[in-house]
């Protein structure tokens, strides 16, 4: 049976690369985007084994409607990949950061992810091997030297890693992990990044299909567990 995999923010970049890889591997992939037309266009680019859904992770009604659509279409969800995120502050100093920018970043990257997990938990419960993958970043690591780059984004990814821990505790039947794709050539990462979106997506694909079930509550990069 082909696993049903939902990827948020999957119309471009790492999400789109992962959707392509997973569809090639035989998964039934659902591309989600707040822009339904963009999701449909991305689906058409990949072809068979892919469908689309309009899903704005910052809007409860949109998330609920998407969950209802997927339930009607597939009856369950095997993998939820939370890839949607925003980066608003880039090289801004923390001391110049507007609190409103931090709140907006947290609302999407952390609260939005929680909202999606809550809405899709009942569909994941119908799977024999449910998984949640949170696309995080080493920018959120507490391990290592502090970095001044994109403070709101970094704070949100640290919080996302803790959300991964909390989901692991709250959903003992679900394999939950977060991952760092590395610095990739995406709209967010820019053209100077050393990795392609395909390289960044490899860990997501592995976590979705191949990672051992005992790997849970961890932070993964290049198929290896790394410090938080």
Number of domains in the chain: 1
Supply the pLDDT for residue 168: 98
Q: What is the mean pLDDT of residues 67-85?
A: 97
How many helices (H) and strands (E) in the chain?
Answer: 7, 8
Q: What is the mean pLDDT of residues 92-113?
A: 96
Listed residue (180, 165, 171, 172) closest to 218, CA to CA: 165
Q: What's the pLDDT band for 84 if we cut at 50, 70, 90?
A: very high
pTM above 0.85, yes or no: yes
Q: What is the mean pLDDT of residues 195-216?
A: 92
Domain region containing 85:
4-225
Say whether 153 is catalytic: yes
C-alpha atoms less than 13 angstroms from C-alpha of 84 in its C-beta half-sphere: 30
Q: What is the mean pLDDT of residues 61-80?
A: 98
Q: What is the mean pLDDT of residues 142-166?
A: 91
Whether residue 54 has pLDDT greater than 70: yes
**CA 110/CA 78 separation, integer angstroms:** 21
Are the C-beta atoms of residues 171 and 121 closer than 8 Å to each other? yes
Q: What is the mean pLDDT of residues 28-54?
A: 95
Set 13, 86, 136, 153: catalytic member: 153
Q: What is the CATH number of the domain that holds 141?
A: 3.40.50.720
Supply the pLDDT for residue 199: 87
């Amino acid at each position: 049976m082909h696993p049903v995999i939902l990827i948020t923010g999957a119309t471009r970049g790492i999400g789109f690369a992962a959707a392509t890889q997973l569809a090639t591997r035989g998964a039934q992939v659902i591309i989600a985007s707040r822009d339904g037309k963009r999701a449909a266009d991305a689906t058409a680019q990949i072809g068979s084994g892919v469908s689309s859904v309009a899903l704005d992770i910052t809007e409860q009604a949109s998330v609920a409607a998407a969950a209802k659509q997927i339930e009607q279409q597939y009856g369950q969800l095997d993998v939820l990949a939370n890839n949607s995120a925003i980066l608003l502050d880039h090289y801004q100093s923390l001391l110049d950061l507007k609190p409103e920018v931090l709140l907006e970043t947290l609302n999407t990257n952390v609260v939005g992810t929680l909202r999606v997990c809550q809405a899709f938990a009942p569909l994941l419960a119908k799977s024999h091997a449910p998984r949640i993958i949170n696309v995080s970043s080493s920018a959120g690591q507490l391990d290592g030297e502090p970095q001044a780059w994109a403070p709101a984004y970094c704070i949100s990814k640290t919080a996302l890693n803790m959300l991964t821990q909390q989901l692991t505790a709250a959903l003992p039947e679900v394999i939950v992990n977060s991952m760092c794709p590395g610095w990739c050539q995406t709209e967010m990462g820019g053209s100077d990044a050393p990795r392609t979106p395909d390289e960044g997506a490899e860990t997501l694909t592995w976590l979705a299909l191949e990672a051992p079930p005992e790997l849970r509550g961890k932070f993964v990069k290049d198929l290896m567990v790394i410090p938080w």
